[in-house]
Amino acid sequence: MIEAVVFDMDGVLIDSEHVWDEVRERLAAERGGRWSERAQRDMMGMSSPEWSRYMHETVGLAERPQEINRIVVERMLERYADGPPLLDGAVAAVERLAAEWRLAIASSSNRELIDAVLAATPLGPLFELTVSSEEVARGKPAPDVYLEAARRLGVEPVRCAAIEDSHNGIRAAKAAGMRTLAIPNPRFPPGADALAEADLVLASLDELTADAVRASR
Protein backbone atom coordinates (compact mmCIF):
# COMPACT_ATOMS: atom_id res chain seq x y z
CA MET A 1 0.00 0.00 0.00
CA ILE A 2 1.31 3.45 -0.92
CA GLU A 3 1.78 5.80 2.04
CA ALA A 4 3.60 8.72 0.40
CA VAL A 5 4.40 10.17 -3.03
CA VAL A 6 7.79 11.68 -3.85
CA PHE A 7 8.03 14.10 -6.78
CA ASP A 8 10.99 15.11 -8.84
CA MET A 9 10.85 18.86 -9.53
CA ASP A 10 12.68 19.84 -12.73
CA GLY A 11 10.81 18.52 -15.73
CA VAL A 12 7.91 17.22 -13.62
CA LEU A 13 6.59 20.34 -11.90
CA ILE A 14 8.51 23.10 -13.67
CA ASP A 15 9.65 23.33 -17.28
CA SER A 16 13.26 23.97 -16.38
CA GLU A 17 15.49 21.27 -17.86
CA HIS A 18 16.14 23.42 -20.93
CA VAL A 19 16.82 26.43 -18.69
CA TRP A 20 19.58 24.51 -16.92
CA ASP A 21 20.94 23.51 -20.31
CA GLU A 22 20.92 27.07 -21.65
CA VAL A 23 22.55 28.54 -18.53
CA ARG A 24 25.36 25.99 -18.41
CA GLU A 25 25.97 26.00 -22.16
CA ARG A 26 26.17 29.82 -22.19
CA LEU A 27 28.62 29.78 -19.28
CA ALA A 28 30.75 27.22 -21.12
CA ALA A 29 30.77 29.43 -24.23
CA GLU A 30 31.73 32.51 -22.20
CA ARG A 31 34.60 30.74 -20.46
CA GLY A 32 35.96 28.80 -23.43
CA GLY A 33 34.62 25.42 -22.38
CA ARG A 34 34.23 22.36 -24.61
CA TRP A 35 30.45 21.92 -24.75
CA SER A 36 29.18 18.75 -26.42
CA GLU A 37 25.79 17.33 -27.32
CA ARG A 38 26.07 14.73 -24.57
CA ALA A 39 26.82 17.25 -21.80
CA GLN A 40 23.16 17.92 -20.99
CA ARG A 41 22.28 14.24 -20.86
CA ASP A 42 25.34 13.48 -18.76
CA MET A 43 24.51 16.17 -16.19
CA MET A 44 20.76 15.58 -15.94
CA GLY A 45 20.16 14.25 -12.46
CA MET A 46 23.64 14.97 -11.14
CA SER A 47 23.93 16.72 -7.78
CA SER A 48 25.43 20.21 -7.76
CA PRO A 49 28.86 18.97 -6.58
CA GLU A 50 28.80 16.42 -9.42
CA TRP A 51 27.73 18.66 -12.29
CA SER A 52 29.96 21.55 -11.21
CA ARG A 53 32.91 19.14 -11.14
CA TYR A 54 31.86 17.87 -14.59
CA MET A 55 31.81 21.46 -15.86
CA HIS A 56 35.33 21.96 -14.48
CA GLU A 57 36.89 18.64 -15.50
CA THR A 58 35.03 17.62 -18.67
CA VAL A 59 33.68 20.86 -20.11
CA GLY A 60 36.95 22.52 -19.16
CA LEU A 61 36.02 25.64 -17.20
CA ALA A 62 38.97 27.04 -15.30
CA GLU A 63 36.92 28.10 -12.27
CA ARG A 64 36.75 25.82 -9.27
CA PRO A 65 33.57 23.71 -9.04
CA GLN A 66 32.27 25.73 -6.09
CA GLU A 67 32.51 28.92 -8.13
CA ILE A 68 30.86 27.31 -11.16
CA ASN A 69 28.02 26.17 -8.92
CA ARG A 70 27.61 29.67 -7.48
CA ILE A 71 27.44 31.32 -10.90
CA VAL A 72 24.95 28.81 -12.33
CA VAL A 73 22.62 29.00 -9.32
CA GLU A 74 22.73 32.79 -9.41
CA ARG A 75 21.76 32.78 -13.08
CA MET A 76 19.02 30.21 -12.51
CA LEU A 77 17.52 32.39 -9.77
CA GLU A 78 17.59 35.32 -12.19
CA ARG A 79 15.67 33.22 -14.73
CA TYR A 80 13.07 32.43 -12.05
CA ALA A 81 12.75 36.05 -10.94
CA ASP A 82 9.48 36.59 -12.80
CA GLY A 83 8.09 33.29 -11.55
CA PRO A 84 9.27 29.70 -12.03
CA PRO A 85 8.00 28.11 -15.27
CA LEU A 86 5.30 25.85 -13.83
CA LEU A 87 4.20 23.11 -16.15
CA ASP A 88 0.54 23.08 -17.17
CA GLY A 89 -1.42 20.97 -14.75
CA ALA A 90 1.31 20.79 -12.12
CA VAL A 91 -0.58 22.44 -9.28
CA ALA A 92 -3.80 20.51 -9.98
CA ALA A 93 -1.91 17.20 -10.13
CA VAL A 94 -0.13 17.83 -6.84
CA GLU A 95 -3.40 18.88 -5.20
CA ARG A 96 -5.06 15.66 -6.35
CA LEU A 97 -2.35 13.52 -4.79
CA ALA A 98 -2.07 15.68 -1.64
CA ALA A 99 -5.70 14.83 -0.90
CA GLU A 100 -4.67 11.16 -0.59
CA TRP A 101 -1.04 10.98 0.54
CA ARG A 102 1.84 12.74 2.22
CA LEU A 103 4.08 14.39 -0.38
CA ALA A 104 7.79 15.13 -0.66
CA ILE A 105 10.20 16.40 -3.31
CA ALA A 106 13.47 14.66 -4.19
CA SER A 107 15.25 16.99 -6.60
CA SER A 108 18.64 17.41 -8.20
CA SER A 109 18.20 21.18 -7.92
CA ASN A 110 20.13 23.14 -5.33
CA ARG A 111 18.42 23.90 -2.05
CA GLU A 112 18.10 27.60 -2.94
CA LEU A 113 16.27 26.78 -6.16
CA ILE A 114 13.87 24.28 -4.57
CA ASP A 115 12.98 26.82 -1.89
CA ALA A 116 12.56 29.62 -4.45
CA VAL A 117 10.19 27.55 -6.58
CA LEU A 118 8.03 26.51 -3.64
CA ALA A 119 7.93 30.02 -2.19
CA ALA A 120 6.84 31.57 -5.50
CA THR A 121 4.10 29.06 -6.40
CA PRO A 122 1.05 27.45 -4.77
CA LEU A 123 3.05 24.23 -4.41
CA GLY A 124 4.84 25.09 -1.15
CA PRO A 125 2.12 24.19 1.37
CA LEU A 126 1.39 20.90 -0.39
CA PHE A 127 4.76 19.29 0.33
CA GLU A 128 5.72 18.02 3.76
CA LEU A 129 9.44 18.08 3.04
CA THR A 130 12.02 18.46 0.30
CA VAL A 131 15.44 16.92 -0.30
CA SER A 132 18.15 18.21 -2.62
CA SER A 133 20.67 15.78 -4.03
CA GLU A 134 23.40 18.13 -2.81
CA GLU A 135 22.38 16.93 0.68
CA VAL A 136 23.20 13.27 -0.04
CA ALA A 137 26.30 11.43 -1.17
CA ARG A 138 25.33 10.80 -4.81
CA GLY A 139 23.00 12.30 -7.37
CA LYS A 140 20.66 10.43 -9.68
CA PRO A 141 20.75 7.71 -11.08
CA ALA A 142 21.92 6.63 -7.61
CA PRO A 143 18.90 6.20 -5.29
CA ASP A 144 20.28 8.36 -2.47
CA VAL A 145 17.95 11.37 -2.75
CA TYR A 146 14.86 9.15 -2.89
CA LEU A 147 16.04 7.02 0.01
CA GLU A 148 16.65 10.16 2.06
CA ALA A 149 13.18 11.48 1.28
CA ALA A 150 11.67 8.21 2.46
CA ARG A 151 13.83 8.25 5.59
CA ARG A 152 12.73 11.77 6.50
CA LEU A 153 9.11 10.82 5.90
CA GLY A 154 9.52 7.74 8.06
CA VAL A 155 8.06 5.59 5.28
CA GLU A 156 9.62 2.48 3.75
CA PRO A 157 10.70 3.17 0.14
CA VAL A 158 8.55 0.28 -1.09
CA ARG A 159 5.53 2.13 0.30
CA CYS A 160 6.36 5.25 -1.72
CA ALA A 161 5.51 6.19 -5.29
CA ALA A 162 7.87 8.41 -7.27
CA ILE A 163 6.97 10.79 -10.10
CA GLU A 164 9.78 11.24 -12.62
CA ASP A 165 10.46 12.51 -16.14
CA SER A 166 14.09 11.76 -16.94
CA HIS A 167 16.26 8.77 -17.73
CA ASN A 168 18.43 9.04 -14.63
CA GLY A 169 15.49 10.01 -12.42
CA ILE A 170 13.49 6.91 -13.35
CA ARG A 171 16.52 4.73 -12.69
CA ALA A 172 17.10 6.42 -9.32
CA ALA A 173 13.52 5.94 -8.13
CA LYS A 174 13.49 2.30 -9.20
CA ALA A 175 16.84 1.69 -7.54
CA ALA A 176 15.32 3.05 -4.32
CA GLY A 177 12.58 0.43 -4.59
CA MET A 178 9.76 2.90 -5.19
CA ARG A 179 6.78 2.41 -7.45
CA THR A 180 7.71 4.72 -10.32
CA LEU A 181 5.42 6.70 -12.59
CA ALA A 182 7.13 8.29 -15.58
CA ILE A 183 5.93 11.38 -17.42
CA PRO A 184 8.56 11.61 -20.17
CA ASN A 185 10.09 15.01 -20.80
CA PRO A 186 9.44 15.78 -24.49
CA ARG A 187 12.54 17.99 -24.76
CA PHE A 188 14.88 15.41 -23.22
CA PRO A 189 13.05 12.06 -23.42
CA PRO A 190 14.30 9.16 -21.33
CA GLY A 191 15.75 6.17 -23.10
CA ALA A 192 13.65 3.12 -23.84
CA ASP A 193 15.56 1.07 -21.27
CA ALA A 194 14.67 3.52 -18.47
CA LEU A 195 11.04 3.74 -19.59
CA ALA A 196 10.84 -0.03 -19.51
CA GLU A 197 11.74 0.11 -15.81
CA ALA A 198 8.86 2.45 -14.96
CA ASP A 199 5.76 0.88 -13.42
CA LEU A 200 3.50 3.21 -15.40
CA VAL A 201 4.14 5.71 -18.19
CA LEU A 202 1.78 8.70 -18.45
CA ALA A 203 1.41 11.14 -21.32
CA SER A 204 0.97 14.25 -19.17
CA LEU A 205 0.31 15.58 -15.69
CA ASP A 206 -3.41 15.49 -16.48
CA GLU A 207 -3.18 11.70 -16.27
CA LEU A 208 -1.50 11.81 -12.84
CA THR A 209 -4.36 10.86 -10.55
CA ALA A 210 -4.74 8.89 -7.35
CA ASP A 211 -6.14 6.01 -9.39
CA ALA A 212 -3.04 6.05 -11.60
CA VAL A 213 -0.77 5.85 -8.55
CA ARG A 214 -2.75 2.98 -7.12
CA ALA A 215 -2.77 1.19 -10.48
CA SER A 216 0.97 1.46 -11.14
CA ARG A 217 2.01 -2.09 -10.28
What digits encode the pLDDT tens for the residues 33-66? 999 888 988 898 899 999 999 999 999 999 999 9
Q: Contact, 106 vs 47, CB < 8 A?
A: no
Confidence of residue 20 (pLDDT cuts 50, 70, 90): very high
Instruction: State the pLDDT at residue 217.
Output: 65
Closest to 23 in 3D by CA, of 46, 48, 40, 42: 40
pLDDT above 80 for 216: no
Where in the sequence is the domain holding 41, given as residue range(s)? 17-79
Catalytic: which of 8, 15, 165, 199?
8
Domain check: are 95 and 37 in the same one?
no
Determine the Cα–Cα distance for residues 145 and 136; give it in Å rounded to an integer. Answer: 6
Asked whether residue 99 falls in the same domain as residue 50, the answer is no
90 shares its domain with 192: yes
Of 10, 21, 144, 165, which is the active-site residue?
10
Same domain, 135 and 55: no
In one-letter notation, the amino acid at residue 89 is G
Residue at 76: amino acid letter:
M
Q: Are residues 59 and 127 in the same domain?
A: no
> Do 43 and 21 have their domain in common?
yes
Domain match, 92 and 181 both = yes
In a shared domain, residues 164 and 195: yes
> Domain boundary residue among 64, 79, 94?
79
pTM for this one? 0.94
Tell me if residue 73 falls in helix, strand or coil: helix
Residues 166 and 200 in one domain: yes
* pLDDT, position 44: 85
Mean pLDDT lowest among 87-96, 113-122, 145-154, 186-195: 186-195
Domain count of the fold of the chain: 2
Sheet-wide strand order for 200-201: 129-132, 102-107, 4-7, 160-164, 179-182, 200-201
Torsion of CA 147, 148, 151, 155, to 10 degrees: -50
> pLDDT (tens digit, 9 = 90+) per residue, 116-166?
999 999 999 999 999 999 999 999 999 999 999 999 999 999 999 999 999
Is 8 annotated as catalytic? yes
pLDDT at position 199, please?
97
Domain identity same for 34 and 92: no
- Asked if 161 and 198 sit in the same domain, the reply is yes
Are the beta carbons of 160 and 6 closer than 8 angstroms? yes
21 flagged as catalytic: no
Q: Is the dihedral of CA 101, 197, 46, 77 positive or negative?
A: negative
Regarding whether 211 and 140 lie in a shared domain, the answer is yes
